[in-house]
Structure 1
Amino acid sequence: MNPSKLFHDFFESEKAGGLVLVFVTAVSLVLANSPWHAGYASLWHLELAGHHLAHWINDGLMTIFFLLIGLELEREIYQGELSDLKKAALPIFGAMGGMLVPAGIFLLLNCGTPTQSGAGIPMATDIAFAIGILSLLGNRIPLSLKVFLTALAVIDDLGAILVIAVCYTSSLSFLNLSIALLIFGLLLMLNRLKINKLLPYLVGGVAMWYFMLQSGVHATITGILLAFAIPFGDGNEDSISYRLQHFLHRPVAFVILPLFAMANTNIAFGSSEFSLDSRNSLGIVLGLVIGKPLGIVLFSYIGTYLRWCALPGDLKWKNILGAAMLGGIGFTMSIFITLLAFDGESVVTESKIAILVASVVSGVLGFVYLRLTTKKAA
């Protein structure tokens, strides 16, 4: 399979998904602040098998989103931009800076306070939103910049997943975790035995999800583990990894992420105690709007200065800065980490509003800057 075709398919899927996310988020915010807000809020608290609808979306459906992220990451490692260390080095450096600097800014403001656990919130980049905004600029954007932003966001997601696994596990059941890891080991064995039927992996994945949920480690991590257990083969269109990845693109982009966005942007601004003056809100907004572009550009520059990576020939630093601004669109992963970091409804709502504000500001700044600094291709 031609890696450039895979990238094109991925980019087009994320572009459409990003535009849908913008629309459903706007609809959700309008409904939450309309005369129908009570009915809309109660929708997400409907009980299904002992859990609220929002819980099933956040802990269940989002596992499928993480499975897709894992499959895309696996593809990038074997065939895409991360398969060549020299090509991968620039987005890797950028992603490292885009995680460490925002987290540092947040901790500078929140260390020693009850909200310090939110340091992971400004570390994330929303692939769908960022690429959706980038796509609005059409052929002004060089392909290499699209590749850079996509690879950076995929690495960023991996970093966010590691942060979730390590930092947001409050209590641990070693028995359930051991059973989940044992199932993962069995799935890896099926992979090694070249069992290329999808059903055993999906059945094992559901069982692994259940025991991971009982273990205290966030169950969505199961999606990443399952992705790397499913045989990749040579990555052609007949491989089960390829078929599953392309099957999941549309339901994730047009069903799962929109449902997640709507369930978690049910925010009534009039009743909120939100203030940009709070340490938590400032940490999130400054981390995403300033920390993200600063970290991405600074670490990318250090990497090129040390000659550990190189800037593609058709790109200039002003292009990297524009993409780095779009990296400040946190949204999906930032909201997801918020739900893990905080328990109180008021601080969760405050964090969500800060994420929305920062994401809108980053998206607008990135779009306007790239519009002014790039020219249409002839």
Structure 2
Amino acid sequence: MKLLRSARFPAILLLIAAVAGLVIANSPIGHDVIELSHAHLAIPGTPIDLSLTHWVSDGLLVFFFFMVSVELQFELTRGELRSARRAIQPALAAAGGVIVPIAIYLLITAGSGFQEGWPIPTATDIAFALGVLAVFGRGLPSGVRIFLLALAIIDDVVGIVFIAVLFATDLNYGMLAAGLLTTVLFGILSRMLHTRARRLVIALLVVLAALTWVFILLSGVHATIAGVLLGLAMAQTPALVTRHVMEPWVNAVILPLFAFTAALVPIPDFSGPGVSVFWGVLIALPVGKMIGIAGLGWLGQRLVGTPDHPKLALGDLIAVGALGGIGFTVSLLLANLAFAADAVVRDKAVLGVLAGSVISAIAAGILLTLRVRHHRLAGTAVEEQTT
């Protein structure tokens, strides 16, 4: 279990799963596997009828978003985002890492009719980015990891907002209200776990969590938002314990399974429509993220620097910017949502995410290695990077 809670191993699993999905999709059995992933599985007596792929992206991925939300709650109350002074620098860097990739994507896809894919290159995959940092960044000052973590969490908040607002369809306000009500009840009950009726409370929490997912799914808001709501509502101590218990399963099963199903796309004909989407995402992730994060991060440190937060060197900020270009999990989800109605263009967007994320990871590995060497020569390296 310790291995699955480390930063390195889950990132390797994600990459292996994505490569496996892409290879299988383009093998002789690819068509059959893709057809199987589109097979539907319904819950009898309910209107819930999802394909196997959507059971992963709309069902299992809720646990990942719950974990992200719990981490966000912690950072907002006790971590690096607990005050405006602490949050402003990574927030500015995150803003740059959203605005610049959007601008690059829109510039490349201008006039193509596929501009709606602009949210795709805005995401940063926390698990993957921290994994690359753990492998190549041993010896870097601890401030680099802290800055990346804070930036990635803010970045995830932006992605969550995009998912909730941009991809809500045919809103059912009654179901949405029911989901919010069960969320409130979930939050209240989570504060009663210290009572003698602990087992009953846990059972009720499971029921309320399941009902929240059902209501949010049927409301027209993407079902992963249920995980966000529950993570923010839950009392912090039991939420952190729950996150700790879930982490190995999310890292070892849920995220690799999502990466596999999301990457299960045949390589399309690049002479057809949507080629600009591929190039837009491919360039916006590594280039846009690096420029935006390093540029606004550097500017933010000089405009709103604080004495208790040592400034990161520009070289370190550029390396963090490269790590930010590893979009992966959330970017893959955004690609599937943005082009849900056009499988050909969606596949090109997915390939753009995979290629852009790999380029970012390679660039980050090289830059981190150079920065570690620089800090060792300067005598500012630390003995071991936290994983």
CA contact (8 A) 1:103 1:287 kept: yes
| 2:313 matched residue in structure 1 | 316
SS of residue paired to 1:54:
helix
Q: Judging changes above 3 Å, is the alpha-carbon distance between structure 1 residues 213 and 28 closer, same or farther for their aligned structure 2 residues?
A: same
| 1:35 counterpart = 2:28 | yes
**Deviation at residue 64 of structure 1 after TM alignment:** 1.1
| 1:114 counterpart = 2:87 | no
Letter paired with 1:59 = D
260-269 or 85-94, larger mean C-alpha shift: 85-94
CA deviation map 1:110-167 (0-9, x unaligned): 4565322211101001112111111111523222211211221111111100111111
CA contact (8 A) 2:57 2:258 kept: yes
| 1:132 counterpart = 2:131 | yes
Q: Judging changes above 3 Å, is the alpha-carbon distance between structure 1 residues 169 and 195 closer, same or farther for their aligned structure 2 residues?
A: farther
SS of residue paired to 1:179:
helix
Query: Structure 2: which 5+ runs fail to align?
Result: 43-48, 196-200
| 1:348 matched residue in structure 2 | 346
CA contact (8 A) 1:71 1:241 kept: yes
| 2:217 matched residue in structure 1 | 213
**Deviation at residue 258 of structure 1 after TM alignment:** 0.4
| 1:286 matched residue in structure 2 | 283
Q: Percent identity?
A: 34
Specify which of 302, 305, 312 is matched with residue 305 of structure 1: 302
CA deviation map 1:275-321 (0-9, x unaligned): 89933223212221211111111221222232255794373110111
Q: Judging changes above 3 Å, is the alpha-carbon distance between structure 1 residues 199 and 14 closer, same or farther for their aligned structure 2 residues?
A: farther
SS of residue paired to 1:128:
helix
Letter paired with 1:26 = V
Q: Judging changes above 3 Å, is the alpha-carbon distance between structure 1 residues 350 and 309 closer, same or farther for their aligned structure 2 residues?
A: farther
Using the alignment, how far apart are the partners of 2:299 and 2:213 within structure 1? 40
Number of residue pairs matched by the alignment: 363
SS of residue paired to 1:268:
coil
| 1:46 counterpart = 2:39 | yes
**Deviation at residue 192 of structure 1 after TM alignment:** 6.7
282-291 or 338-347, larger mean C-alpha shift: 282-291
CA contact (8 A) 2:294 2:318 kept: yes
SS of residue paired to 1:139:
coil
Q: Judging changes above 3 Å, is the alpha-carbon distance between structure 1 residues 214 and 318 closer, same or farther for their aligned structure 2 residues?
A: same
CA contact (8 A) 1:59 1:219 kept: yes
| 1:266 matched residue in structure 2 | 264
Q: What pairs up with 1:358-377 in 2 under 5 angstroms?
A: 358-375=356-373, 377=381
**Deviation at residue 202 of structure 1 after TM alignment:** 2.6
**Deviation at residue 349 of structure 1 after TM alignment:** 0.3
344-353 or 191-200, larger mean C-alpha shift: 191-200
Q: Judging changes above 3 Å, is the alpha-carbon distance between structure 1 residues 323 and 253 closer, same or farther for their aligned structure 2 residues?
A: same
Using the alignment, how far apart are the partners of 1:261 and 1:358 within structure 2? 15
Structure 1 residue runs of 4 or more that deviate by more than 4 Å after TM superposition:
9-12, 191-196, 274-277, 308-312
**Deviation at residue 266 of structure 1 after TM alignment:** 1.1
CA contact (8 A) 2:5 2:251 kept: no
CA RMSD of aligned residues (A): 2.5
Letter paired with 1:330 = G
TM-score, normalization by structure 1: 0.88
SS of residue paired to 2:82:
coil
Letter paired with 1:372 = L
Using the alignment, how far apart are the partners of 1:366 and 1:159 within structure 2? 22
CA contact (8 A) 1:17 1:253 kept: yes
**Deviation at residue 189 of structure 1 after TM alignment:** 4.0
| 1:99 counterpart = 2:98 | yes
Q: Judging changes above 3 Å, is the alpha-carbon distance between structure 1 residues 275 and 148 closer, same or farther for their aligned structure 2 residues?
A: farther
| 1:17 counterpart = 2:17 | no
120-129 or 108-117, larger mean C-alpha shift: 108-117
Letter paired with 1:115 = F
